[in-house]
Chain A
């Protein structure tokens, strides 16, 4: 019996709540009366459910002057007011997003068409980028798209484990003061402008990365990624590492937020089973945070795919599909737009816009597949609701 049963509406006359198990004795309950002398020796807590005495109460009689005639009408619905205005504002905001996206897509498509018509090569398979000659345009997206995806993938591969490690350290291991200071430092990293990252990567970070590339090539050169025929320098590896540093803060702070929101009761459930700290993280924190981790990684990936100036400054601007990440070279769609825009004529700019359209599509596909991953997870959880 729960407390609620004791507060049932008043019955008329004395009564006894039905006992689930046979019992002859009554004894102290929440609202009952202590009667230590009543059948104490027969009392057995295992089988006896105490009957509860309900004090005599009489239901109030209806007031004599009450008629069945309808009373005051209920207040009418308000037609205009703050409610309506606010709804309008939010609706306009929501639709504006759709309108802007449609406008961008339309702009990209319309502007790209002239150059694509003039192109003498297959846009999707050709490697080089030479769109400016009016009657002799040769350009394709293949090497740029490859470079974009490759550098973003390597950046994610490097950044995500480190970012998740930092996030877990901040949320579960570090004491409050260290966590505050470190969290602030991570946020500071996000505040560095990308052009500064580009300068730093090109002028300073290139040195250590070149040394590291030489080392990689010496010991792991048999892996195509680390083979080199043309030496080392401003390579995909350099660009990707700079990119990794740039997406580190966003992945870290988002996943940290998610980890901190893990319900205490889930962590305690794991602890009560004898889980160590790492095991608590594995059984309670990471599964709970998975959709959030995916979302933060996708935001990081979005930034990596679109990053322009830092990569334009650190990559070697080649137009090859090469798996080697240590050779000087590499290029991305965004970096190529930054590098080629200055010398592009009208047709060249149209070609660059066509490449922008491809970048737009890549980002869209990445985002949609991420959502699909999260949704598959949700399906399992949604089954819980049925």
Chain B
């Protein structure tokens, strides 16, 4: 169920602006990898390059390769929609489809894949909602609009929607930055559970969160505004936060910079 990601010299552009420059890193199966760094350092850009969501912005493109279990997602004849089904994504702001019920939100991805049988959808919806620790809270109101849930519930609904299609990898782009501490804790606990089945990559501004949830941490930084972001250090989370090899990493996590 989980796959290994190898990024090789990934360089991403917005038009002529180079946002990240030759990022190479290996993300292991069934691990949680946190991407940290100051704003504008390209961590979100790198995350979005993994499932080819970067290129949906007009003028944006990616060079280099990202191999998922040895297959480059940027190969010319790869179906981009299949890549995105394999690599699910959770966004910064909870974005359930506003016109859909909770149930329809969860099975939206399955319906896109052509699953129509009601029974099959119900089984999948319950499994995904249980997986996202939301089932008990919403099982009696599956036909109510997804937008009616609290922010934290909406974000777990989005996680349920992402895992309902049974991806191999789940990308999370600052999933807790719009949530209160209790919802944040719920999501962090969930990440710990999801790790048993999925490879997880999470972008966060909250270094304590990175420390709490991740096995490995990648620190991105940029020299100055207008320069591309680069991967400064990538190591075990414990090492990054206790004994980083790079001075810049230490400066950042101790709050002396960024």
Contact = CB atoms under 8 A, between A and B. Distances in A.
Interface of A: 1-3, 5, 20, 27-34, 36, 40, 43-46, 48-50, 263, 265-266, 268-276, 279, 283-284, 287-288, 290, 377, 380-381, 383-386
Contacts of A284: 97
Interface in B43-102: 51, 53, 56, 81-85, 88-89, 91, 93, 95-100
A46 B254 contact: no
A380 B253 CA distance: 46
B94 to A, nearest CB: 9
24 contacts: A1-B209, A2-B206, A27-B241, A27-B242, A28-B207, A29-B208, A33-B254, A34-B253, A40-B238, A40-B242, A43-B238, A46-B192, A49-B212, A50-B211, A265-B91, A272-B84, A272-B162, A273-B161, A274-B81, A274-B109, A274-B165, A284-B97, A383-B148, A384-B144
A273 B85 contact: yes
- The 9 A-B pairs of least Cβ separation, nearest first, read A274-B85, A384-B148, A287-B99, A273-B109, A272-B89, A384-B147, A34-B254, A265-B95, A274-B81
B131 interface: no
Contact of B148 (A29, A263, A386): A386
Interface in B237-251: 237-238, 241-243, 250
B162 A45 contact: no
B98 A266 contact: yes
Nearest to A273: B109
Contacts of A30: 207-208, 255
B112 A40 contact: no
A28 B99 contact: no
Contacts of B212: 45-46, 48-49
B223 interface: no
A33 to B, nearest CB: 7
Contacts of A34: 250, 253-254
A265 B90 CA distance: 11
B181 interface: yes
Contacts of B205: 3
Contact of B255 (A31, A272, A273): A31
Given A30-B207, A287-B100, A269 B253 contact: no
The contact size tier of chain B is 35 or more
B82 A274 contact: yes
A252 to B, nearest CB: 22
Contacts of A275: 81, 112
Contact of A273 (B84, B207, B253): B84
A104 B30 CA distance: 72
B151 interface: no
A283 B108 contact: yes
A32 B250 CA distance: 12
B158 interface: yes
Residue from A28, A33, A49 whose CB has the most chain B CB atoms within 10 Å: A28
B95 A43 contact: no
A30 B257 CA distance: 10
A34 to B, nearest CB: 4
Contact of A274 (B84, B181, B215): B84
Contacts of B146: 384
A288 B243 contact: no
Contacts of B181: 1-2, 5
Nearest to B216: A45
Given A27-B242, A279-B112, A268 B254 contact: no
B214 interface: yes
Contacts of A266: 95, 97-98
A288 B184 contact: no
B98 A288 contact: yes
A293 to B, nearest CB: 13
B53 A268 contact: yes
A283 B97 contact: yes
Given A1-B181, A2-B181, A287-B100, A271 B53 contact: yes
Nearest to B111: A283
A169 B63 CA distance: 29
A273 B148 contact: no
A381 B250 contact: no
B257 to A, nearest CB: 12
A43 to B, nearest CB: 5
Residue from A2, A31, A274, A384 whose CB has the most chain B CB atoms within 10 Å: A274
Nearest to B90: A272
A266 B99 CA distance: 11
Contacts of B83: 274
B213 interface: yes
A49 B238 CA distance: 13
Interface string B169-208: 0000000100011001100000010000000000001111
Residue from B88, B161, B181, B242 whose CB has the most chain A CB atoms within 10 Å: B242
A45 B206 contact: no
Residue from A270, A272, A383 whose CB has the most chain B CB atoms within 10 Å: A272
Interface in B85-137: 85, 88-89, 91, 93, 95-100, 108-109, 112-113
Contacts of A276: 81
Given A272-B84, A381-B147, A45 B112 contact: no
A276 B80 CA distance: 9
Contacts of A288: 98-99
A284 B112 CA distance: 12
Nearest to B105: A269
B146 to A, nearest CB: 8
